[in-house]
Structures are given as structure tokens and as C-alpha cells.
């Protein structure tokens, strides 16, 4: 209501209205200066929390900085309450931790640390940092596929990682682009071993009896409901569907709903685009063989002409996509703004609270070991409660729908959101190395390292 409206309404006298003119005036929205919200530093033991990298049905993935090694990390934040709502959720997380602890390979994601908060019933799985997922790269280009030479390079790395897993008696069961992550130097990492199965050391063969993988990547023996099947051949099939997808942007089998999809997979009829060429077509036919006994083994795949052939670049490679809003092609570290708050650059409030890493950190070898790690603020907890309510509503809606997405999964995917702009004021010259999978942070001596040790 304007001053004129108040005058005609008779609510105020003329003298009162004349006084109001001195302090009530219209402000254009362009004149309003918004103060950005200050980033609050949060320490989980020796790790400084960064921004959100992605979300999945199991929990959130955030960036972290190891204050001792200055290495960039990613952390899965898992809530026990949420895991209980997911079929086999808690058991899958325990199994994934057990498997990752015994694995060490350049093409398998590395588990760095496990922390547990008994009070808030949260688990923190600290992993090596990967800049993005293969599915995100595919979605960033209109063609939704890789050039042949790029797909060949990634596929060979997938073979290396898959061969290592099989040599350790582990069946992944959910190979797909969404579970393949990439580092800044182009190294492929197989991730999400939540539905994987470790074969018994004295097992006669690779026979498995359960499968929880993504529907579009399951073989005919699972689609037809067989009680037992070869675990290794399941991974070969899934790798074949993955190769088909990253070279053609298509899926060999599709369906309006999960029943129709499994019906099509069970029949085993599919076509391969003509532009794939005879060698790639032959390889895909061998990996997507209906009979698991006749299906290619990893050794046969390695000896195939398409795999052994050198593919020269015929078109530009698909680059790592930049951040959605900042368009940062280097994916700068999101922990930088939190460093400013941690070390007190600028004015500080009297009520600012810092966290003591030594008092709060709890290293755990098991999911049920008690401990306490201070991390979330009250505002963040309220946001999480709202998110849980939204997730419950979405779950109810999903139960009513029969349609599925070919890439639907129960596992976490890196879906990088946005990186905040770098702060205007930094304590010392600060550089980010663009080489190496860990993207370590390097700073001048006697500056940043000293500040970290003081805290």
C-alpha cells in the first residue's frame, strides 16, 4: 500500500503521512546488494568438508580436504536410518567396506578412511577423489557417446579393473557408465561395490544366486529368473552393454517398464548399428551372447582385433564437463572458501565455534563401533529433515510407477553440481595442481601448512 493509498483510506492524518514520506520510499531491485552467506568450516577429524558433489539413494557425496596430506578426497555420508529403508542397504554398505579394504588397483576406487558418528547414526566413507562420472560426460554432449578411440581407451581400463576383481574372486554385478568414475588424468575407476559378491575361497566355480544390478544391464539368465548363474559372465554381459552404450548412445534392450524390458532381454534379440563396423560388431556379439557358456571371457576379449587395434583420433574427445553454474573447466576445490573461515581471515563473530580434530575423530573398522564426530549445524539438520520428507514422497510415487530408466540404480553417482567462486582474499599464493588423480593442494612453505598445524 502506497502513501497515497493510506491518505485516501483515512487511517492516518496528514501530519503523520508527511512524516512517513521522509523514511518510506521505493527501492528498485537492482539497487539491493545481497551479502553472500558466509561459508562455515566443518572438520570431520582431520578432514575439512567442502560442498556437495552429488546425491544418490544411499546418501550424499561431498568434497573433502585431508589437512595432513593436502589431498583432495570425496566422502559418502550415509545415514543408518536411511539405509534401513533401503532393501539390504545396511548389509550392502558393510559388504562394500569389507571388499574395498582388501582391494588395491589403479582401476578400482580406493577407500581411504571410515568414520562413524554414533550420536547421529552416520557413517563417513572417505574415498579417493574423482572429478566426474562417465555417465555425466556422456550426458554433457548432444551425441551421448564417445569417439571410438576414447571409448576404446576407457574400455581397456575397464577390462583391467574387471580382470583384477575377478582374480580376487569378486563379482561386481553392476557394471555400467554410472558406476565408472574418472580422475583428472583420465584414469577410470570402478566404483559402487555395494551389490558385489565375494566368492568363497574354496568355491569350485563362479556360481552366484542373487543379483541386484541395474535392470537394463542384466543378462538373459537373470531376466529369465534362473536360480544359479555364472557371476563372471554377468560382468562380461554388463561390460558389453556398457561398450554398446558408450559407442552408439543406445541400449541393446529397452522397454516401457521393467517387465517389458526383462521380456526383451530374455528373448535375446537385438540389433547393432551399421556404423559400428565389423570388428566392433563382432566383439559386441561375443560379449552379448545369449548362452553364457559361449559368451566371451576376458581373455578372449583381450585377444579380439578391436581391442588390440590402435584407433587413431577421428574426432575431438569428449572433455570433462565444467561446473553447471560457474563453468569452471578445472573443477576448482570447493573447500577453499571454508579455509578462509577456518583460519579466521576477516572479521569473526564471538560465537564462532571451531572443531578439534583430535577430540572428535573416531576411526572405526566396523559399522557398529561407537564414537562421536561433530559435523552438522542446526540449519543443515533442518534441511536434511526436509530432504528426507521429500525422498519419502518420491519413494511413494515411484512405487506406483512401473516405468523405469535404463540407467536407474540404487547406488551413488557423482553428479557434480556447482563450485563456489574463489574467495577474494587468500592468506598466501595458493595453487591447484592439475596432474595426478588426487589433485593435491600445494602452497608456499611456512604459510598454509603452518596454519593447519596451529589448528
Q: Which residues contact 283 (CB under 8 A, 6 or more apart)?
A: 243, 296, 301, 304, 306, 307
Cβ atoms 429, 64 nearer than 8 A: no
Q: Scanning the structure block, which residue is given the C-alpha cell 554381459?
A: 237
Cβ atoms 248, 145 nearer than 8 A: yes
Can you state the percent helix, strand and coil of the chain, rounding each to 5?
35, 15, 50
- Annotated binding residue 79: no
Question: 244 to each of 216, 276, 280, 283, 365, how far by Cα in Å?
Answer: 12, 9, 9, 10, 39
Check 160, 174, 235, 410 and give the catalytic one: 174
Cβ atoms 135, 177 nearer than 8 A: yes
Whether 235 sits among the annotated catalytic residues: the reply is no
Q: Which residues contact 351 (CB under 8 A, 6 or more apart)?
A: none
HSE on the CB side for 404, CA within 13 Å?
Answer: 18
User: How many other C-beta atoms lie within 10 A of the C-beta of residue 70?
Assistant: 16
The closest alpha carbon to 134, from 406, 322, 318, belongs to 318
Residues forming the annotated binding site? Answer: 76
Which residues does the annotation mark as catalytic? 174
Please report, in range form, the residues annotated as the binding site for ATP: 76
Amino acid at each position: 500500500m502506497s502513501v497515497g493509498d493510506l491518505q485516501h483510506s483515512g487511517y492516518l492524518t496528514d501530519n503523520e503521512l508527511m512524516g512517513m514520506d521522509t523514511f518510506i520510499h521505493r527501492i528498485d531491485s537492482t539497487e539491493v546488494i545481497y551479502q553472500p552467506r558466509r561459508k562455515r568450516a566443518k572438520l570431520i577429524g582431520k578432514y575439512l568438508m567442502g560442498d556437495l558433489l552429488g546425491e544418490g539413494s544411499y546418501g550424499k557425496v561431498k568434497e573433502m580436504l585431508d589437512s595432513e596430506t593436502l589431498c583432495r578426497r570425496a566422502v559418502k555420508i550415509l545415514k543408518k536410518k536411511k539405509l534401513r529403508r533401503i532393501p539390504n542397504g545396511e548389509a550392502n554398505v558393510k559388504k562394500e567396506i569389507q571388499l574395498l579394504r582388501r582391494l588395491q588397483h589403479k582401476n578400482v576406487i580406493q577407500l581411504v578412511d571410515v568414520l562413524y558418528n554414533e550420536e547421529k547414526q552416520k557413517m563417513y566413507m572417505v574415498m579417493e577423489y574423482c572429478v566426474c562420472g562417465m555417465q555425466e560426460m556422456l550426458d554433457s554432449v548432444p551425441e551421448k557417446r564417445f569417439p571410438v578411440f576414447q571409448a576404446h581407451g576407457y574400455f581397456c581400463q575397464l577390462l583391467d579393473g574387471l580382470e583384477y576383481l575377478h582374480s580376487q574372486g569378486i563379482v561386481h554385478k553392476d557394471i555400467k557408465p554410472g558406476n565408472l568414475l574418472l580422475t583428472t588424468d583420465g584414469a577410470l575407476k570402478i566404483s559402487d561395490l555395494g551389490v558385489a559378491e565375494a566368492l568363497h575361497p574354496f568355491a569350485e566355480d563362479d556360481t552366484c544366486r542373487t543379483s541386484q544390478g541395474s535392470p537394463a544391464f542384466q543378462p538373459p539368465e537373470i531376466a529369465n529368473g534362473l536360480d544359479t548363474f555364472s557371476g563372471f559372465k554377468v560382468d562380461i554381459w554388463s561390460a558389453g552393454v556398457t561398450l554398446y552404450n558408450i559407442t552408439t548412445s543406445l541400449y541393446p534392450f529397452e522397454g516401457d517398464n521393467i517387465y517389458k524390458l526383462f521380456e526383451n532381454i530374455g528373448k535375446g534379440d537385438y540389433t547393432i548399428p551399421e556404423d559400428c563396423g565389423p570388428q566392433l560388431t563382432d566383439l559386441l556379439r561375443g560379449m552379448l551372447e545369449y548362452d553364457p557358456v559361449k559368451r566371451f571371457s576376458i581373455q578372449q576379449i583381450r585377444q579380439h582385433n578391436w581391442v588390440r587395434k590402435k584407433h587413431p583420433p577421428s574426432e575431438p574427445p569428449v572433455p570433462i564437463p565444467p561446473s553447471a553454474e560457474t563453468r569452471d573447466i578445472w573443477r576448482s576445490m570447493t573447500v577453499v572458501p571454508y579455509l578462509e573461515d577456518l583460519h579466521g581471515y576477516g572479521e569473526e563473530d564471538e560465537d564462532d565455534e571451531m572443531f578439534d580434530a583430535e577430540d572428535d575423530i573416531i576411526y572405526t573398522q566396523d559399522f557398529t563401533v561407537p564414537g562421536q564426530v561433530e559435523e552438522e549445524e542446526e540449519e543443515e539438520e533442518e534441511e536434511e529433515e526436509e530432504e528426507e520428507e521429500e525422498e519419502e514422497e518420491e519413494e511413494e510415487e515411484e512405487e506406483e510407477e512401473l516405468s523405469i530408466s535404463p540407467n536407474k540404480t540404487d547406488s551413488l553417482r557423482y553428479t557434480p553440481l556447482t563450485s563456489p567462486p574463489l574467495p577474494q582474499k587468500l592468506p598466501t599464493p595458493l595453487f591447484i595442481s592439475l596432474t595426478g588423480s588426487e589433485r593435491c593442494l600445494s602452497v608456499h612453505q611456512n604459510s598454509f601448512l603452518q596454519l593447519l598445524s596451529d589448528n
